[in-house]
Amino acid sequence: MDYETIRVETDGPLVLLTIHRPDKLNALNSTVRRELMEAVDALARDDGVKVAILSGAGEKAFVAGADVSEFAARTPAEQRALYNHRRVYDAIADFPKPILCAVHGYCLGGGSELALACDLRVADRTARFSQAEIRLGLIPGAGGTQRLARLVGPGQAMRMALTGDMVDAEEAYRMGLVEVLVDEGRHLEKAREIAGRMARWSPVALRLAKRSIKAAMETPLSAGLQLEKELFLAAFASDDGQEGVQAFVEKRDPEFKGR
Ligand code: COA
């Protein structure tokens, strides 16, 4: 499929999704958001794809935020109408397969929220994060108070959202906003390596594990443990679960079929 503002490259079971508006620091305009949603929906249906990586084109930025020029042209009623539709952040968060974010350079506002919607963040040392909305008289509106607070705790989320200050890669790593930190320019290579290590396993188990961990963000512990038990039993009953256990007993590599 041809897109105007994103690139989709498959590499065996991995797919690299690149936001491609480098002259605008990959700012999220409505075309990027629509195309990203179309792409993740298509990838969700594609059995050949096991793990996705999201990145941004160019030397300077992953994504420098929502496209502020579009904000400027919108009435409050138009903005509300947009918020009533499915949003790219939720499309990414609900993507049933693992999705890693590879961050280089600016990761601001909606860009940071896009990274937060992914399952884990790999950043190089140039990465800089901020919830900059407060500078515009706004607040984060796509997870930059909610997903951020759950990931790094309410205090650090307060600091970021209320100051709008940039946090460098080292600090983001220390506070848990970035899970893997690498030297400049190594973010994609590292993300591919981690994605490749996931892609060896059963797609059924990957999907169930992801679903269970995501539920931990939303449920009390007792309900989460109950769900985990059910999802474990679903994995156990799957052909891949049977194959994995049998292969271990027979001292051979498993052959996962995705069912
Ligand atoms: N929305 C729309 N356009 C953006 C953008 C955004 N969020 N961020 C950058 N751009 C555009 C700039 O307008 C510029 O376009 P132009 O060449 O047509 O003028 C281009 O991207 C390059 O950005 P520029 O500002 O020249 O780069 P810089 O290196 O001097 O500064 C930033 C980089 C990130 C500090 C600066 O671009 C910035 O502050 N961007 C806005 C960040 C923001 O507030 N994001 C959160 C929105 S909620």
User: What is the per-residue pLDDT across 103-161, written as a single tens digit (0 to 9) for each?
Assistant: 999 999 999 999 999 999 999 999 999 999 999 999 999 999 999 999 999 999 999 99
- pLDDT in the model for residue 1: 75
From residue 225, give the alpha-carbon distance in Å to each of 27, 153, 211, 230, 254.
39, 22, 12, 9, 28
Round the average pLDDT of the chain to a whole number and report it: 96
Residues 76 and 79: their CA atoms lie apart, in Å, by 5
**Mean pLDDT of the region 58-64:** 97
Q: Rounded to two decimals, what is the model's pTM?
A: 0.96
Fold for the domain defined by 203-249: Lyase 2-enoyl-coa Hydratase; Chain  A, domain 2 (1.10.12)
Whether 105 and 27 have beta carbons less than 8 Å apart is answered as no
CA dihedral over 130, 14, 200, 205, signed as positive or negative: positive
Ligand 1 centre distance from Cα of residue 85 (Å): 26
Q: Flag whether pLDDT at 11 surpasses 90.
A: yes
* Ligand 1 binding residues, C-beta < 6 A: 24-25, 27, 64-69, 106, 108-110, 132-133, 136
For residue 232 the two structure tokens come to 């474990």
Distance in Å, CA 64 to ligand 1 centroid: 6
Residues 203 and 209: beta-carbon distance below 8 Å? no
Alpha helix (H) residue ranges in the chain: 30-45, 68-72, 76-83, 88-93, 110-117, 146-152, 154-163, 169-175, 187-199, 203-216, 221-237, 239-249
Tell me the pLDDT band of 32, cut-offs 50, 70 and 90. Answer: very high
Residue 2 pLDDT class (50, 70, 90 cuts): confident
Q: Whose CA is nearest to atom 39 of ligand 1?
A: 64
Task: Convert the pLDDT of each residue in 208-220 to its tens digit.
Answer: 999 999 999 999 9
Residue nearest to atom 18 of ligand 1 (CA): 24
- So where are the chain's domains? 6-199, 203-249
Ligand 1 mutation pick, 5, 19, 23, 24, max ligand atoms within 8 A of CB: 24
36 near 19, Cβ under 8 Å?
yes
Q: How far is CA 244 from CA 99, 121, 201, 205, 233, in A?
A: 23, 28, 9, 10, 14
Give the full edge-to-edge strand order of the sheet including 180-182.
6-11, 14-19, 51-56, 99-103, 120-124, 180-182
Testing ligand 1's pocket by substitution, the residue of 19, 23, 25, 136 carrying the most ligand atoms inside 8 A of its CB is 25
Q: Atom 27 (ligand 1): residue with closest C-alpha?
A: 25
Mean pLDDT for 78-97 is: 94
Query: Which residue, judged by its Cα, is nearest atom 29 of ligand 1?
Result: 60
pLDDT band at 73 (very low <50, low <70, confident <90, very high): confident
Active site amino acids: 113, 133
CATH of region 6-199? 3.90.226.10
Q: Which class for 28: exposed (0-12), middle (13-18), buried (19 or more C-beta within 10 A)?
A: buried
Q: Please tell me the predicted confidence (pLDDT) of residue 71.
A: 83
Q: What is the pLDDT of residue 220?
A: 96
Distance (Å, rounded) from C-alpha 259 to C-alpha 242? 10
Whether residue 252 is predicted with pLDDT greater than 80 in this model: the reply is yes
Residue 82 — pLDDT band, cuts 50, 70, 90? confident
C-alpha 70 to ligand 1 mean position (Å): 13
Ligand 1 centroid to residue 188 C-alpha, Å? 23
Is the separation of the CB atoms in 98 and 195 below 8 Å? yes
